[in-house]
A and B are shown apart, each in its own frame.
Chain A
C-alpha cells in the first residue's frame, strides 16, 4: 500500500453522507524502530473539500502571519476536519467514517 493511495479518497459518514476527501495523512513518529528513528505511524486523516488551500498548511498550525493571508486561508479551510484512524474503515475506493461529526484538525506544535 502506498501513501498516495489514501490522498484524494472520498470520505463518507456512517449513513453514506459525503464528508469530503482525504487531504492529508497525519503521521506520528512513534512506530517500531527502523534504523535510527521510530517509524512514522498513521494516526488519522485530514478531511475536507479544498485541497489547494489545505496544501498551504495554515489549518495545521496556530494562526500565523501575514494576517491577511492567514485569515483568508482560515476561511477557505474552515470546513477541514480530522478523522482518527481508529474511527474509520477503508473500503473499495472510499473511506467510511464511523462517526458523523468529525472534530477539528489537531494543531501541530
Chain B
C-alpha cells in the first residue's frame, strides 16, 4: 500500500496548527521522529511548536537567542518545545487541525502567561475581539 506523499519542508513545516474550533494553536516548527530499533525508516510521532523548536532549526545567533530567552522566561526548567502527538491530529492539509484546545495542549506557556499577566491588564484589552 502506498500512502499519500508529502515533503517535510514543503508541506509540513511552518503550517499553522488550529484546534477544532479554528483557533490558532501555533505553527509546525519542527517534527519529532521515532527511529525504530529494527532499522526500518524513522517516522513522525509528534509536531513541535514554539521557539524551542524553531530556534535550533534557524540556527546561528538568532536561534540561540530565541532558545535562551524562551528558556529564561519559562517557569519550568525543561527546555523542551511544545509537543503535539500525531495521534491528536484530525486533519493534515493546508493547515493542521488537532482535537485539543490551545489551553489543553499547553504548548505556549510564555505567550499564555504574557496574555494573562500583561496584555489582558491593558485598559480596553478585554473589549478586543479574540
Using a CB–CB cutoff of 8 Å, the interface residues on chain A facing chain B are: 1-4, 6-7, 23-32, 34-43, 46, 55, 57, 60, 85, 106, 108-109
- Kindly state the separation between the CA atoms of A4 and B47 in the bound complex, as whole angstroms: 12
With A2-B48, A3-B30 already in contact, the answer to whether A34 and B86 are too (CB < 8 A) is: yes
Instruction: Let me know if B90 is at the binding interface, CB within 8 A.
Output: yes
Instruction: Let me know if B94 is at the binding interface, CB within 8 A.
Output: no
What are the interface flags for B79-90 relative to A under an 8 Å C-beta threshold, 1 for contact and 0 otherwise? 000000111111
- Kindly state the separation between the CA atoms of A31 and B86 in the bound complex, as whole angstroms: 12
Instruction: Let me know if B65 is at the binding interface, CB within 8 A.
Output: no
- Sampled A-B contacts (8; CB under 8 Å): A3-B8, A6-B8, A7-B57, A25-B7, A27-B6, A27-B12, A35-B87, A40-B44
Binds A, one of B35-43, B101-109, B116-124: B35-43
Contacting pair A27 B89 (CB below 8 A): no
Instruction: Let me know if B62 is at the binding interface, CB within 8 A.
Output: no
Which one, A29, A34, A46, A57, contacts B4 given CB within 8 A? A29
Chain A interface mostly: strand
Instruction: Let me know if B2 is at the binding interface, CB within 8 A.
Output: yes
Most chain A C-beta atoms within 10 Å of own C-beta, residue among B1, B2, B3: B3
Instruction: Let me know if B125 is at the binding interface, CB within 8 A.
Output: no
Contacting pair A25 B9 (CB below 8 A): yes
Which one, B35, B87, B90, contacts A34 given CB within 8 A? B87
Contacting pair B43 A109 (CB below 8 A): no
Instruction: Let me know if B73 is at the binding interface, CB within 8 A.
Output: no
With A34-B85, A55-B10 already in contact, the answer to whether A27 and B30 are too (CB < 8 A) is: no
Instruction: Let me know if B5 is at the binding interface, CB within 8 A.
Output: yes
- Kindly state the separation between the CA atoms of A40 and B5 in the bound complex, as whole angstroms: 9
For the complex formed, measure the closest distance between the CB of A106 and the CB atoms of chain B, giving whole angstroms.
8
When C-beta atoms are compared, the residue in chain A nearest to B92 turns out to be A37
Which one, A4, A29, A41, A43, contacts B30 given CB within 8 A? A4
Contacting pair A43 B7 (CB below 8 A): no
With A30-B2, A34-B86, A42-B33 already in contact, the answer to whether A3 and B44 are too (CB < 8 A) is: yes
